[in-house]
Protein backbone atom coordinates (compact mmCIF):
# COMPACT_ATOMS: atom_id res chain seq x y z
CA UNK A 1 0.00 0.00 0.00
CA UNK A 2 1.11 3.55 -0.69
CA UNK A 3 1.91 6.26 1.83
CA UNK A 4 0.05 8.61 -0.49
CA UNK A 5 -3.59 9.38 0.33
CA UNK A 6 -6.07 7.79 -2.12
CA UNK A 7 -6.62 9.76 -5.32
CA UNK A 8 -10.34 10.28 -4.58
CA UNK A 9 -9.56 11.96 -1.26
CA UNK A 10 -6.80 14.11 -2.78
CA UNK A 11 -9.05 15.19 -5.63
CA UNK A 12 -11.95 15.99 -3.30
CA UNK A 13 -9.65 18.25 -1.25
CA UNK A 14 -8.26 19.94 -4.38
CA UNK A 15 -11.76 20.61 -5.71
CA UNK A 16 -12.84 22.08 -2.36
CA UNK A 17 -9.80 24.40 -2.45
CA UNK A 18 -9.53 25.47 -6.09
CA UNK A 19 -12.97 24.63 -7.47
CA UNK A 20 -14.08 21.71 -9.66
CA UNK A 21 -12.16 22.61 -12.82
CA UNK A 22 -9.37 20.81 -14.63
CA UNK A 23 -7.38 22.60 -17.32
CA UNK A 24 -6.57 20.48 -20.34
CA UNK A 25 -3.06 20.70 -21.76
CA UNK A 26 -3.78 20.06 -25.45
CA UNK A 27 -1.05 21.69 -27.53
CA UNK A 28 -2.88 21.66 -30.86
CA UNK A 29 -0.85 23.10 -33.78
CA UNK A 30 -3.22 26.10 -33.85
CA UNK A 31 -2.84 26.76 -30.12
CA UNK A 32 0.96 26.60 -30.42
CA UNK A 33 0.81 29.10 -33.30
CA UNK A 34 -1.40 31.46 -31.26
CA UNK A 35 1.12 31.25 -28.42
CA UNK A 36 4.02 31.99 -30.78
CA UNK A 37 5.51 28.54 -30.19
CA UNK A 38 6.83 26.05 -32.76
CA UNK A 39 4.85 22.91 -33.59
CA UNK A 40 7.55 20.60 -32.27
CA UNK A 41 8.64 19.01 -29.01
CA UNK A 42 10.15 22.25 -27.69
CA UNK A 43 6.82 23.99 -28.30
CA UNK A 44 4.65 21.44 -26.50
CA UNK A 45 7.15 21.35 -23.61
CA UNK A 46 7.10 25.14 -23.26
CA UNK A 47 3.32 25.37 -23.43
CA UNK A 48 2.86 22.58 -20.89
CA UNK A 49 5.34 24.05 -18.41
CA UNK A 50 3.82 27.54 -18.74
CA UNK A 51 0.32 26.15 -18.08
CA UNK A 52 1.49 24.33 -14.98
CA UNK A 53 3.29 27.40 -13.66
CA UNK A 54 0.38 29.77 -14.37
CA UNK A 55 -2.47 27.56 -13.16
CA UNK A 56 -1.11 26.02 -9.95
CA UNK A 57 -3.63 26.99 -7.28
CA UNK A 58 -6.19 28.19 -9.85
CA UNK A 59 -7.52 24.76 -10.85
CA UNK A 60 -7.89 21.41 -9.10
CA UNK A 61 -5.92 19.49 -11.74
CA UNK A 62 -4.37 19.56 -15.18
CA UNK A 63 -5.06 17.01 -17.91
CA UNK A 64 -2.27 16.61 -20.46
CA UNK A 65 -3.61 14.99 -23.63
CA UNK A 66 -0.96 12.37 -24.51
CA UNK A 67 -1.73 12.45 -28.25
CA UNK A 68 -0.45 16.00 -28.68
CA UNK A 69 2.89 15.05 -27.12
CA UNK A 70 3.16 11.68 -28.92
CA UNK A 71 2.82 13.50 -32.29
CA UNK A 72 6.40 14.61 -31.75
CA UNK A 73 7.86 11.16 -31.11
CA UNK A 74 10.29 10.39 -28.32
CA UNK A 75 11.14 14.07 -27.77
CA UNK A 76 7.41 14.80 -27.34
CA UNK A 77 7.06 11.98 -24.82
CA UNK A 78 10.10 13.37 -22.96
CA UNK A 79 8.31 16.74 -22.90
CA UNK A 80 5.23 15.05 -21.41
CA UNK A 81 7.43 13.53 -18.71
CA UNK A 82 8.74 16.99 -17.87
CA UNK A 83 5.25 18.48 -17.71
CA UNK A 84 4.11 15.68 -15.38
CA UNK A 85 7.20 16.14 -13.19
CA UNK A 86 6.64 19.91 -12.98
CA UNK A 87 3.01 19.37 -11.95
CA UNK A 88 3.99 16.89 -9.26
CA UNK A 89 6.66 19.30 -7.97
CA UNK A 90 4.07 22.10 -7.85
CA UNK A 91 1.55 19.92 -6.00
CA UNK A 92 -0.89 20.13 -8.91
CA UNK A 93 -2.87 16.94 -9.58
CA UNK A 94 -2.44 15.32 -13.00
CA UNK A 95 -4.95 13.36 -15.07
CA UNK A 96 -3.13 11.83 -18.02
CA UNK A 97 -5.59 11.52 -20.90
CA UNK A 98 -4.24 8.53 -22.82
CA UNK A 99 -7.42 6.36 -22.91
CA UNK A 100 -5.53 3.10 -22.54
CA UNK A 101 -7.31 -0.26 -22.76
CA UNK A 102 -6.13 -3.73 -23.81
CA UNK A 103 -6.12 -7.39 -22.80
CA UNK A 104 -5.20 -7.87 -19.15
CA UNK A 105 -1.56 -8.87 -19.68
CA UNK A 106 -0.91 -5.75 -21.77
CA UNK A 107 -2.99 -3.64 -19.41
CA UNK A 108 -0.51 -4.63 -16.71
CA UNK A 109 2.25 -3.00 -18.76
CA UNK A 110 0.17 0.17 -19.18
CA UNK A 111 -0.41 0.18 -15.42
CA UNK A 112 3.35 -0.08 -14.91
CA UNK A 113 3.93 2.84 -17.27
CA UNK A 114 1.32 5.26 -15.91
CA UNK A 115 0.46 4.21 -12.36
CA UNK A 116 3.69 3.05 -10.74
CA UNK A 117 5.83 5.08 -8.34
CA UNK A 118 9.08 5.98 -10.08
CA UNK A 119 7.76 5.66 -13.63
CA UNK A 120 8.59 8.84 -15.61
CA UNK A 121 5.07 8.82 -17.13
CA UNK A 122 3.18 8.22 -13.88
CA UNK A 123 0.22 10.54 -13.29
CA UNK A 124 -2.20 10.91 -10.40
CA UNK A 125 -4.92 9.43 -12.61
CA UNK A 126 -5.25 7.91 -16.07
CA UNK A 127 -8.14 7.75 -18.52
CA UNK A 128 -8.91 4.17 -19.60
CA UNK A 129 -11.22 2.49 -22.09
CA UNK A 130 -13.42 -0.41 -20.88
CA UNK A 131 -14.33 -1.63 -24.37
CA UNK A 132 -12.26 -4.81 -24.07
CA UNK A 133 -14.46 -5.58 -21.05
CA UNK A 134 -14.36 -3.81 -17.68
CA UNK A 135 -12.55 -6.81 -16.15
CA UNK A 136 -9.62 -6.33 -18.54
CA UNK A 137 -8.88 -3.13 -16.59
CA UNK A 138 -8.16 -5.10 -13.39
CA UNK A 139 -4.36 -4.61 -13.47
CA UNK A 140 -4.87 -0.84 -13.74
CA UNK A 141 -7.49 -0.87 -10.97
CA UNK A 142 -5.12 -2.76 -8.68
CA UNK A 143 -2.14 -0.54 -9.50
CA UNK A 144 -4.19 2.62 -8.99
CA UNK A 145 -5.65 1.56 -5.66
CA UNK A 146 -2.32 0.27 -4.36
CA UNK A 147 -0.42 3.42 -5.29
CA UNK A 148 -2.96 6.07 -4.23
CA UNK A 149 -3.77 6.87 -7.86
CA UNK A 150 -7.01 6.88 -9.81
CA UNK A 151 -8.69 5.95 -13.07
CA UNK A 152 -11.33 7.62 -15.20
CA UNK A 153 -13.20 4.97 -17.18
CA UNK A 154 -14.93 6.06 -20.39
CA UNK A 155 -18.69 5.82 -19.78
CA UNK A 156 -20.68 8.45 -21.73
CA UNK A 157 -18.16 10.31 -23.84
CA UNK A 158 -18.67 13.85 -25.13
CA UNK A 159 -18.46 13.03 -28.86
CA UNK A 160 -21.53 12.43 -31.04
CA UNK A 161 -20.32 8.93 -32.07
CA UNK A 162 -20.25 7.61 -28.48
CA UNK A 163 -23.93 6.65 -28.14
CA UNK A 164 -23.72 3.99 -30.90
CA UNK A 165 -21.70 1.88 -28.46
CA UNK A 166 -22.46 3.32 -25.03
CA UNK A 167 -26.27 3.33 -25.33
CA UNK A 168 -26.39 -0.25 -26.66
CA UNK A 169 -28.52 -2.59 -24.54
CA UNK A 170 -28.00 -6.13 -23.36
CA UNK A 171 -30.78 -8.45 -22.22
CA UNK A 172 -34.43 -8.77 -23.15
CA UNK A 173 -37.80 -7.26 -22.21
CA UNK A 174 -37.95 -5.02 -19.19
CA UNK A 175 -34.56 -6.13 -17.87
CA UNK A 176 -32.32 -4.59 -20.55
CA UNK A 177 -29.30 -2.69 -19.38
CA UNK A 178 -27.11 -0.29 -21.32
CA UNK A 179 -23.35 -0.50 -21.72
CA UNK A 180 -22.97 2.85 -19.94
CA UNK A 181 -25.08 1.73 -16.97
CA UNK A 182 -22.99 -1.45 -16.63
CA UNK A 183 -19.75 0.55 -16.63
CA UNK A 184 -21.08 2.90 -13.96
CA UNK A 185 -22.25 -0.04 -11.83
CA UNK A 186 -18.82 -1.70 -12.10
CA UNK A 187 -17.12 1.50 -10.95
CA UNK A 188 -19.60 1.86 -8.09
CA UNK A 189 -18.72 -1.62 -6.83
CA UNK A 190 -15.03 -0.69 -6.72
CA UNK A 191 -15.76 2.53 -4.81
CA UNK A 192 -18.00 0.96 -2.17
CA UNK A 193 -17.27 2.30 1.30
CA UNK A 194 -14.70 4.88 0.16
CA UNK A 195 -14.92 8.33 1.72
CA UNK A 196 -15.12 11.15 0.82
CA UNK A 197 -14.83 9.83 -2.77
CA UNK A 198 -13.53 6.62 -4.31
CA UNK A 199 -10.67 6.60 -6.80
CA UNK A 200 -12.28 4.81 -9.75
CA UNK A 201 -14.01 7.55 -11.70
CA UNK A 202 -15.95 7.82 -14.93
CA UNK A 203 -15.77 10.06 -17.99
CA UNK A 204 -19.18 11.59 -18.64
CA UNK A 205 -19.27 14.42 -21.16
CA UNK A 206 -20.99 17.67 -20.26
CA UNK A 207 -22.41 17.55 -23.80
CA UNK A 208 -24.42 14.33 -23.39
CA UNK A 209 -27.79 16.01 -22.81
CA UNK A 210 -30.37 13.51 -21.62
CA UNK A 211 -28.11 10.45 -21.96
CA UNK A 212 -27.61 9.81 -18.24
CA UNK A 213 -31.36 9.34 -17.76
CA UNK A 214 -31.93 7.68 -21.16
CA UNK A 215 -29.29 5.02 -20.51
CA UNK A 216 -30.32 4.43 -16.89
CA UNK A 217 -26.81 5.37 -15.72
CA UNK A 218 -26.81 5.91 -11.97
CA UNK A 219 -24.22 8.65 -11.38
CA UNK A 220 -25.39 9.46 -7.86
CA UNK A 221 -24.26 6.03 -6.61
CA UNK A 222 -20.87 5.83 -8.32
CA UNK A 223 -19.12 7.33 -5.28
CA UNK A 224 -16.19 8.21 -7.50
CA UNK A 225 -15.10 11.29 -9.45
CA UNK A 226 -16.84 12.19 -12.71
CA UNK A 227 -14.56 13.79 -15.29
CA UNK A 228 -16.70 16.04 -17.49
CA UNK A 229 -15.11 17.06 -20.81
CA UNK A 230 -16.95 19.11 -23.39
CA UNK A 231 -16.94 22.43 -21.54
CA UNK A 232 -15.97 25.37 -23.74
CA UNK A 233 -14.88 24.42 -27.27
CA UNK A 234 -17.39 21.56 -27.57
CA UNK A 235 -20.25 23.82 -26.57
CA UNK A 236 -21.18 22.88 -23.01
CA UNK A 237 -21.27 25.47 -20.23
CA UNK A 238 -22.63 25.99 -16.74
CA UNK A 239 -26.23 25.17 -17.73
CA UNK A 240 -25.23 21.82 -19.24
CA UNK A 241 -23.07 20.92 -16.23
CA UNK A 242 -25.97 21.61 -13.87
CA UNK A 243 -28.44 19.61 -15.97
CA UNK A 244 -26.33 16.57 -16.88
CA UNK A 245 -24.96 16.13 -13.35
CA UNK A 246 -28.06 16.99 -11.30
CA UNK A 247 -27.81 15.06 -8.03
CA UNK A 248 -24.13 14.17 -8.51
CA UNK A 249 -22.54 17.61 -8.77
CA UNK A 250 -20.11 17.31 -5.86
CA UNK A 251 -18.29 14.46 -7.62
CA UNK A 252 -17.76 16.33 -10.88
CA UNK A 253 -14.42 17.59 -12.16
CA UNK A 254 -15.24 19.67 -15.24
CA UNK A 255 -12.49 19.87 -17.82
CA UNK A 256 -11.79 22.34 -20.57
CA UNK A 257 -8.76 22.61 -22.84
CA UNK A 258 -8.97 24.88 -25.88
CA UNK A 259 -11.29 27.45 -24.25
CA UNK A 260 -8.83 28.05 -21.39
CA UNK A 261 -5.69 27.88 -23.54
CA UNK A 262 -7.20 30.50 -25.87
CA UNK A 263 -6.60 33.07 -23.11
CA UNK A 264 -2.81 32.47 -23.28
CA UNK A 265 0.04 32.92 -23.59
CA UNK A 266 -0.21 35.86 -21.18
CA UNK A 267 0.18 34.31 -17.72
CA UNK A 268 -2.30 36.56 -15.90
CA UNK A 269 -4.94 36.25 -18.64
CA UNK A 270 -4.58 32.47 -18.62
CA UNK A 271 -4.89 32.35 -14.84
CA UNK A 272 -7.92 34.66 -14.91
CA UNK A 273 -9.64 32.51 -17.55
CA UNK A 274 -9.06 29.36 -15.53
CA UNK A 275 -10.30 31.00 -12.34
CA UNK A 276 -13.42 32.24 -14.12
CA UNK A 277 -14.11 28.76 -15.59
CA UNK A 278 -13.61 27.26 -12.15
CA UNK A 279 -15.98 29.73 -10.49
CA UNK A 280 -18.67 29.02 -13.09
CA UNK A 281 -18.28 25.28 -12.63
CA UNK A 282 -18.46 25.64 -8.86
CA UNK A 283 -21.67 27.68 -9.08
CA UNK A 284 -23.23 25.21 -11.52
CA UNK A 285 -22.27 22.04 -9.70
CA UNK A 286 -22.16 23.08 -6.05
CA UNK A 287 -24.24 26.26 -5.93
O1 LIG B 1 -15.42 12.06 -23.84
C2 LIG B 1 -14.35 12.67 -23.94
C3 LIG B 1 -13.18 12.19 -23.38
C4 LIG B 1 -12.05 12.95 -23.48
N5 LIG B 1 -12.04 14.14 -24.13
C6 LIG B 1 -10.77 14.90 -24.17
O7 LIG B 1 -10.94 16.12 -23.45
C8 LIG B 1 -10.29 17.18 -24.15
C9 LIG B 1 -11.32 18.20 -24.60
O10 LIG B 1 -10.71 19.29 -25.20
P11 LIG B 1 -11.51 20.67 -25.51
O12 LIG B 1 -10.50 21.51 -26.18
O13 LIG B 1 -11.94 21.23 -24.18
O14 LIG B 1 -12.65 20.30 -26.37
C15 LIG B 1 -9.52 16.54 -25.30
O16 LIG B 1 -8.23 16.22 -24.83
C17 LIG B 1 -10.30 15.27 -25.56
O18 LIG B 1 -9.50 14.25 -26.12
C19 LIG B 1 -13.19 14.62 -24.67
O20 LIG B 1 -13.26 15.70 -25.27
N21 LIG B 1 -14.33 13.86 -24.57
Domain boundaries, the chain: 7-281
- Mean local confidence (pLDDT), 168-178: 90
Is the pLDDT at 177 greater than 70? The verdict is yes
Secondary structure string (H, E, C) spanning the chain? CCCCCCHHHHHHHHHHHHCCEEEEECCCHHHHHHCCCCCCHHHHHHHHHHHHHHHECCECEEEEEHHHHHCCHHHHHHHHHHHHHHHHHHCCEEEEEEEECCCHHHHHHHHHHHCCCCCCCCCCEEEECCCCCHHHHHHHHHHHHHHCCEEEEEEECCCCCCHHHHCCEECCHHHCEEHHHHHHHHHHHHHCCCCCCCCEEEEECCCCCCHHHHCCCCCCCCCCCEEECCECCCCECHHHHHHHCCCCHHHEEEEECHHHHCCCCCHHHHHHHHHHHHHHHHHHHHC
Nearest ligand 1 atom to the CA of 65 is 16
Percent of the chain with pLDDT over 90: 97
The mean pLDDT of 4-23, rounded to a whole number, is 98
Q: What is the mean pLDDT of residues 48-74?
A: 98
Q: What are the pocket residues of ligand 1 if the criterion is a CB atom closer than 6 Å to any ligand atom? A: 24, 26, 65, 97, 157-159, 203, 205, 229-230, 232-234, 255-258
Q: What is the pTM of this model?
A: 0.98
pLDDT at 63: 99
pLDDT of residue 1: 59
Instruction: Looking at the CA of residue 233, tell me the nearest atom of ligand 1.
Output: 14
Please state which of the four CATH numbers 3.20.20.70, 3.40.50.300, 3.30.1490.20, 3.90.1300.10 is assigned to the domain occupying 7-281: 3.20.20.70
Ligand 1: residue whose CA is nearest its atom 5:
229
Where in the sequence numbering do the catalytic residues fall?
Answer: 99
Amino acid sequence: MSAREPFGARLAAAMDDAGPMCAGIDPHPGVLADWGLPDDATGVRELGLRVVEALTGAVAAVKPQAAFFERHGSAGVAALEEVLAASHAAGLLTVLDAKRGDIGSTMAAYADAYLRDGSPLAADALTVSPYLGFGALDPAVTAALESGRGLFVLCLTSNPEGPSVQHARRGAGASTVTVAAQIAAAAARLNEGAAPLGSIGLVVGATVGDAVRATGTDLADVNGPLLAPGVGAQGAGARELATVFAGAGRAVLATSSRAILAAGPDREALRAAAREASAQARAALRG
